[in-house]
Amino acid sequence: MTLVDRHNIVSDVTVAAFAELGWKVDRVSADVFDFFGHSNQFDLVAANLFVHHFSDERLAGLLAMIARSAPAFVACEPRRGPVAAFGCRLLPLFGCNEVGRSPVGGLWFERLTHADTRCPKRS
Ligand SMILES: C[S@@+](CC[C@H](N)C(=O)[O-])C[C@H]1O[C@@H](n2cnc3c(N)ncnc32)[C@H](O)[C@@H]1O
C-alpha cells in the first residue's frame, strides 16, 4: 500500500499496525499531482479528508489523473448540508477549534459528482 501526502504524516506506529494486518506500507512525501503524473498503476485509490482541499478545476484534474491510474476511487469526505452546517456552528460550545469545525469547509457530494462528470472516463 502506498500512502501519499506532501508532508511526512504517517507514523511508524501506523506502519507497524498495517504490518500486523499483513500490509507493507510505502510512505511517499509528494504533491499528489506530481505523484499521479508519473503514471503509477494501482488496484484502488482511496482518499481520506483530502479532496476538499482543491478547487473544482484542480479536483477535475486530479480525478482525471486518478482515473488513468486505477479502476476505482473511494473518497471519504464530510458531506456538507444544512444539518451538518448548523451542528458545526455549535461545536465551539464544546471547545472545538477551527479544525474540529472543518465539515463547514467540506465537500458537497454534488461538487464531487460534478467534477467527476467533467473527468475523462477510462476506456
Ligand atoms: C485533513 S488532512 C488529512 C490527512 C490524512 N489523509 C488523514 O486522513 O489523516 C489533509 C492532508 O492533505 C495534504 N495535502 C493537501 N494538499 C496536498 C497536495 N497537493 N499533495 C499532497 N498532499 C496534500 C496535507 O498535507 C494534509 O496532510
pLDDT in tens, 51-65: 888 888 999 999 999
Residue 59 lies inside a defined structural domain of this protein: yes
Residue 62 lies inside a defined structural domain of this protein: yes
Query: What are 16-63's pLDDT values in tens digits?
Result: 999 999 999 999 999 999 999 987 899 999 999 898 888 889 999 999
Residue 9 lies inside a defined structural domain of this protein: no
Residue 114, Cα to own-chain centre: how many angstroms?
Answer: 16
Ligand 1 center to 9 CA (angstroms): 9
Q: Distance of CA 12 to CAs 22, 23, 26, Å?
A: 15, 13, 11
Residue 63 lies inside a defined structural domain of this protein: yes
**What b/e sequence results for 36-47 when a residue is b if at least 16 CB atoms lie within 10 Å of its CB, and e otherwise?**
beeeeeeeebeb
Cell of 5: 501526502
Contact between 52 and 78 (Cβ < 8 Å): yes
Q: Which domain holds residue 37?
A: 31-81+108-117
95: left (phi over 0), alpha (psi -120 to 50) or beta: left
Write down the pLDDT at residue 99.
Answer: 58
Residue 40 lies inside a defined structural domain of this protein: yes
Residue 76 lies inside a defined structural domain of this protein: yes
Q: Among residues 79, 77, 103, 78, which one has the least CA distance to residue 90? A: 103
Residue 10 lies inside a defined structural domain of this protein: no
Residue 64 lies inside a defined structural domain of this protein: yes
Count up the domains in the chain and report the number.
1
Ligand 1: atom nearest CA of 7 is 25
Residue 114: count of CB within 10 angstroms of its CB: 14
Ligand 1 center to 5 CA (angstroms): 5
Pocket test for ligand 1, best of 5, 11, 48, 62 (most atoms within 8 A of CB): 5
